[in-house]
Amino acid sequence: MVAKTAAMLLSGCGVRDGTEIHEAVSALIALEQGGFRVVFTAPDVAQPRVHNHQTGEREPVRRVLPEAARIARGPVVPLGSFSLDGVDALVIPGGFGAATILCDYAEKGSGCTVNPEVERLVADARALGIPVAAMCIAPVIL
């Protein structure tokens, strides 16, 4: 039996400035229990806001891709070169990164725009009939 594949779109690592780790891990566990192999992608951009989750203070700039690799526990495919070929589902966990990196909802509210690479990924998923699961704040992207 060929395993199903789910793509997980990450926005860094950390509820206040990236992907909400509990949501990502919970989704990973559910996907693995459902027989899915998970591949990871994230934009290769600087995080616009970086927080020290211990103190709440601002930190120096970090990049989304290596931060996302903390959750993936290994390499993450840059979103610009990611393809949904062979992918059966797309999962987008929440966290503030979904509203600041994947789109600018945190700044513009309902008038937000979506990162062009994210927009392409979601449009491709829709065109291919791939189900998309978006958690917490991530549905604003859809």
Predicted confidence band at 54 (pLDDT cuts at 50, 70, 90)? confident
3-state secondary structure of 4: strand
DSSP string for residues in 51-107: B-TTT--B----BHHHHHHHHHTS--EEGGG---TT--EEEE--SHHHHHTSB-HHH
pLDDT digits (tens, 9 = 90+) for 97-109: 999 999 999 999 9
Q: Are 106 and 113 in contact (CB under 8 A)?
A: no
Structure tokens at 115: 């990162």
User: Choosing from 13, 103, 112, 136, which is the catalytic residue?
Assistant: 136
pLDDT above 80: residue 59: no
Tracing tokens 């926005």 back to the chain, one arrives at: 11
Examine the residue annotation and report whether 136 is marked as an active-site residue of this protein.
yes
Query: pLDDT tier at 34 (50, 70, 90 boundaries)?
Result: very high
How many helices (H) and strands (E) the chain has is answered by 5, 5
The reply to whether the predicted model has a pTM over 0.95 is: no
